[in-house]
Amino acid sequence: MARRLPLIALGAALVPVLLVLGPILATALHGGGLTALRGSDLQALWFTLWQAALSALISCALAVPLARALARRRFVGRTVLITALGAPFILPVIAAILGLLAVFGRSGLLNQALGGIGLPTLTIYGPHGVILAHVFFNLPLATRMVLQGWQSIPAERLRLAATLDFDGAAMWRHLERPMLRATLPGAFVAIFLVCLGSFAVALTLGGGPSATTVELAIYQAFRFDYDTGRAASLALVQVALCLMAVGIGAKLSAPAAFGAGLDRPALFAPSTRLAQWADAAIIAASALFLLLPIALILWRGLPALATMPPMVWQAALTSLTIALGSTALTLTLAMTLALHAPRHRWTEGAAMLPLAASGLVLGTGLFLMIQPFAAPTSLLIPVTLVVNATLSLPFVTRLLLPEIHALQADYDRLATSLDMGGMAKMRFLTLPRLARPLGFSAGLACAFSMGDLGVITLFSDGQTRTLPLAIFQLMGSYRLDQAAAAATLLLTLTFGLFALFDRIGHHAGPR
């Protein structure tokens, strides 16, 4: 096949590239050029790097046994649980912090229990608290990525393994290790980059300014020092880190190359009682860790649900509109980029770039770019839609990539021999085989857009507001109960959409 430059992929790649680099350039120009970093910025950089690396490492390490347990066991409510475990990833940050504190805080359940039996209490505030919160947020993402890997091992390979009487070590060597080699580096890079942009979580749970991240340094450059040049420099540092991480991740990952199967139900060899109990314990502990804080958020919000001002419902409608539109856009861009990624590595880099984007620089830069041509407030909804779509692009692409690698390796020759191409290939081969990751991706993109405060504070016209902005406004005017209720509404709606798309994908999948 000729290695022509695919124009359509180039067009799709331009969206994230322009949206990330354009605002940095505009911000730098506004500040009269880039400004040098300071000593405190380098400290922030160091803290950001190590907490992100450790958070990603722990999330991935915990995701492997959890995903394995979920892949091996069948129990009532399993699919519901798998969907529910995705919830932390889609929580609005402030709600998640208060939920975590309800469990791990000074007056949280854990310390009440410890105090009740006479043990010394624990404090969550410090670097360990930051990492705990990041694992809480990102373990679901890592688990789903790895679980997808397990589910993509063809049943025939598992049967063969059972026939050959593989022990644990042999399973590991021939099936699990190659599968993890294909999925883990990508999951690590994605989580590392999410944690790189951490701001409120890091500061609040970090307990003080020693937990300063690059994003907070950017905030300081804008708000305290009025130095947009330095903000742009810091944003560029984030982009450089992102590209390096993606490069290293791509080097480390290798396709699993199991070959195509016949989509028969997976069959894991019967395991020992001990292994069964271990899996049950892992699943139960993870469910408790991930779902208890969420249950407490819902519990706190429910009583005030009826007292919410009408504006909250209106905001919910706006958020839904934006979320559905941005999901469609994300999927289109991600499919275009991911389908070209195996032959053109640069599309992957372009798709991951938005992970490095600083929300503040993005909003400010876009404002500066739009302002000469139109009133930014009149473009509030389209801008939010496109920004949200771009911000979820990395996750969706990351989820699709391993599947597309496998798909092209397993079926492209067959499709070519059948002279199947264009729309027919898309309809009968690509879309059905990608249904599962596409459904999950759509759910994720939708949830992401629902929960994102995004660029709205600079573009807001005072009347149109999204649900996260409404929560922010309620909290800012002492109405914390109503804010909690609005957060419950946000969580319910978001999770509903996420579950809906996830189930559609599950049912449409061939397996």
Partner 1 sequence: MRRSLIGLAFLAGMATTAQAEDTPVLTVYAPDYFTSEWGPGPQIEKGFEAQCGCDLQFVAGDVLSRIMLEGKNTKADVVIGLNTDQTARARKTGLFAPSNEDNSRLTLPIKWTDDTFVPFNWSETAFIYDKTKLKNPPKSFDDLLNAPDDLKIAIQDPRSSVSGLALLLWVKAVYGDKAPEAWAKLKPKVLTVTPGWSESYGLFTDGEVDMVLSYTTSPAYHIIAENDDTKAAAIFPEGHYFMAELVAQLKSSKHPELAQDFMDYVLSDDFQGMIATANWSYPAIIKDGFLPEQFADLPRPAKTIFYSEDEAEALRQPALDEWLAAFR
* Footprint on residues 20-59 left by partner 1 (CB under 8 A): 30, 40
Among the residue ranges 347-355, 402-410, 444-452, 457-465, the one whose residues contact partner 1 (CB under 8 A): 457-465
> Rule CB under 8 A: is residue 470 a binding residue for partner 1?
yes
User: Environment class of residue 171 by beta-carbon count within 10 Å: exposed (0-12), middle (13-18) or buried (19+)?
Assistant: middle
Nearer to partner 1, 81 or 500 (CB): 500
Copy the structure tokens of residue 237. 């540092």
Nearer to partner 1, 148 or 336 (CB): 336
> Rule CB under 8 A: is residue 457 a binding residue for partner 1?
yes
> Rule CB under 8 A: is residue 485 a binding residue for partner 1?
no
Task: Please list every residue from 78 through 97 that binds partner 1, using CB under 8 A.
Answer: 94, 97
User: Within a 13 Å sphere around the CA of 466, how many CA atoms are in the beta-carbon half?
Assistant: 30
> Rule CB under 8 A: is residue 388 a binding residue for partner 1?
no
Collapsed DSSP state (helix, strand, coil) of residue 78: helix
Q: Report the residue from 82, 175, 329, 493 that binds partner 1 according to the rule CB under 8 A.
A: 329
Count H helices and E strands in the chain, helices first.
23, 0
> Rule CB under 8 A: is residue 459 a binding residue for partner 1?
yes
Give, as one character, the DSSP assignment of residue 213: -
Residue 404: partners with Cβ closer than 8 Å, 6 or more residues away: 338, 339, 341, 342, 434
Among the residue ranges 4-12, 72-80, 473-481, 499-507, the one whose residues contact partner 1 (CB under 8 A): 473-481
Q: Report the residue from 48, 220, 397, 430 that binds partner 1 according to the rule CB under 8 A.
A: 220
Query: Is-contact 13 353, C-beta < 8 A?
Result: no
Q: Report the residue from 11, 32, 382, 421 that binds partner 1 according to the rule CB under 8 A.
A: 382
- Amino acid symbol at 310: P
> Rule CB under 8 A: is residue 310 a binding residue for partner 1?
yes
Nearest to 498 by CA among 90, 207, 8: 90
Between CA 294 and CA 300, with CA 295 as vertex, the angle to 5 degrees is: 100
> Rule CB under 8 A: is residue 219 a binding residue for partner 1?
yes
Q: How many residues bind partner 1 (CB under 8 A)?
A: 73
Among the residue ranges 168-176, 258-266, 324-332, 435-443, the one whose residues contact partner 1 (CB under 8 A): 324-332
Query: Is-contact 320 493, C-beta < 8 A?
Result: yes
Q: Report the residue from 150, 192, 268, 367 that binds partner 1 according to the rule CB under 8 A.
A: 367
Q: Report the residue from 461, 492, 504, 508 that binds partner 1 according to the rule CB under 8 A.
A: 461
Nearest to 259 by CA among 410, 411, 143, 43: 410
H helices of 7-119, in order, are 7-30, 39-72, 78-84, 93-104, 109-116
Collapsed DSSP state (helix, strand, coil) of residue 408: helix
Task: Please list every residue from 98 through 137 that binds partner 1, using CB under 8 A.
Answer: 98, 101-102, 105-108, 125
Nearest to 405 by CA among 75, 227, 116, 182: 182
- CB 223 to partner 1: min, Å: 6
- CB 191 to partner 1: min, Å: 22
Nearer to partner 1, 310 or 422 (CB): 310
Task: Please list every residue from 267 through 306 that binds partner 1, using CB under 8 A.
Answer: none
> Rule CB under 8 A: is residue 426 a binding residue for partner 1?
no
Q: Report the residue from 325, 402, 437, 443 that binds partner 1 according to the rule CB under 8 A.
A: 325
